[in-house]
């Protein structure tokens, strides 16, 4: 079976980009399996994702070396990924486990092709759940006085386990600017879409009290600007006057789990490219 790879890039838009990239792949014995592109008139940038395979006798390093020269000529920000490599995830959770449980099941059942290398939490509630899936659980309690030490433990865990993506699966702690910078571009958070209207505790109860008709969830990259990172995925669900706060929590939890899983899938499949504060998300 021919090994496959994924090339992603963005650069100032100009003629000849697709021609040059496809020609480079052809010259190195590669076959394009799928290609998606987008030119943004507002930013003047061009975005491309190419999934291709190659003869096993052709090292990926030769394609990489050729892309270095091409990338310099076009001012490209580009990455070349091994299509068969499974991303390694660290999942952070607090006392709400619906997103963690959903991710564990999707990975265990083969629906999400990643490896969850570890689960970490500031509470011990979900240690049995992680253990039932054979995944190491790290209890990292935190307080205002110990926050710097606890966040360094997270960074150490990321480095030791060679983590590709940190998933905040309802991890109810605000990350410091230091940790946000350490995880830039490789940490995804999930939150209810009521922000900023319903901040703080019990957002679904607040929404119920205001008589909302739509609830939802948003998955985004973590940045130093709290809950304002580039958005990856969103979804909504309709509700009505007859639903109780508990029913809103149940429906909201389902929506959060699905949105987070889709965001993780798009990231590990290298379908997301940053366009300033926005994202280009290829299907």
Respond yes or no: is residue 164 known to be catalytic.
no
Which member of 53, 227, 235, 254 is catalytic?
A: 227
Cα separation, 229 vs 141, in Å, equals 26
CB 93 within 8 A of CB 130: no
Token representation of residue 283: 């299907």
* Token output for 95: 């006392």
Both tokens assigned to 264? 């993780």
Of residues 98, 134, 130, the one with CA closest to residue 261: 98
Q: What's the CA gap between 265 and 260, in Å, rounded?
A: 9
Minimal CA–CA distance to 53: which of 71, 33, 38? 33
What are the structure tokens assigned to 47, written together? 């975005």
* DSSP3 helix / strand / coil % (the chain, rounded to 5): 35, 30, 35
Give which of 109, 5, 18, 108 is closest to 51, Cα–Cα. Answer: 5
Residue 56 token pair: 């096993």
CA dist 28 and 22 (Å) reads: 10
Closest CA to 230 of 182, 266, 201: 266
| Residues belonging to the active site | 227
């Amino acid at each position: 079976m021919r090994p496959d790879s994924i090339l992603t890039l963005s650069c100032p838009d100009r003629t000849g980009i697709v021609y040059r990239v496809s020609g480079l792949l052809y010259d190195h014995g590669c076959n394009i399996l799928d290609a998606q592109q987008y030119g943004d008139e507002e930013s003047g940038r061009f975005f491309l994702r190419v999934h291709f395979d190659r003869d096993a006798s052709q090292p990926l390093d030769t394609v990489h070396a050729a892309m270095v020269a091409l990338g310099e000529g076009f001012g490209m920000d580009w990455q070349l990924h091994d299509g068969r490599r499974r991303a390694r995830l660290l999942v952070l959770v607090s006392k709400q486990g619906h997103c963690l449980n959903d991710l564990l099941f999707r990975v265990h059942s083969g629906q999400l092709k990643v490896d969850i290398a570890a689960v970490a939490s500031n509470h011990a509630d979900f240690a049995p759940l992680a253990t039932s899936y054979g995944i190491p659980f790290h209890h990292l309690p935190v307080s205002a006085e110990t926050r710097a030490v606890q966040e360094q433990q997270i960074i150490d865990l990321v480095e030791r386990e060679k983590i590709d993506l940190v998933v905040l699966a309802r991890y109810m702690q605000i990350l410091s600017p230091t940790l946000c910078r350490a995880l830039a571009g490789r940490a995804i958070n999930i939150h209810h879409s009521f922000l900023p209207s319903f901040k703080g505790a019990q957002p679904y109860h607040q929404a119920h009290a205001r008589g909302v008709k739509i609830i939802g969830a948003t998955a985004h990259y973590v940045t130093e600007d709290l809950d304002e990172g580039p958005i990856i995925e969103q979804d909504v669900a309709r509700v009505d006057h007859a639903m109780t706060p508990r029913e809103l929590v149940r429906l909201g939890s389902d929506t959060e789990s699905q949105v987070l899983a889709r965001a993780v899938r798009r990231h590990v499949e290298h379908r997301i490219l940053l366009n300033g504060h926005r994202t280009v998300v290829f299907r």
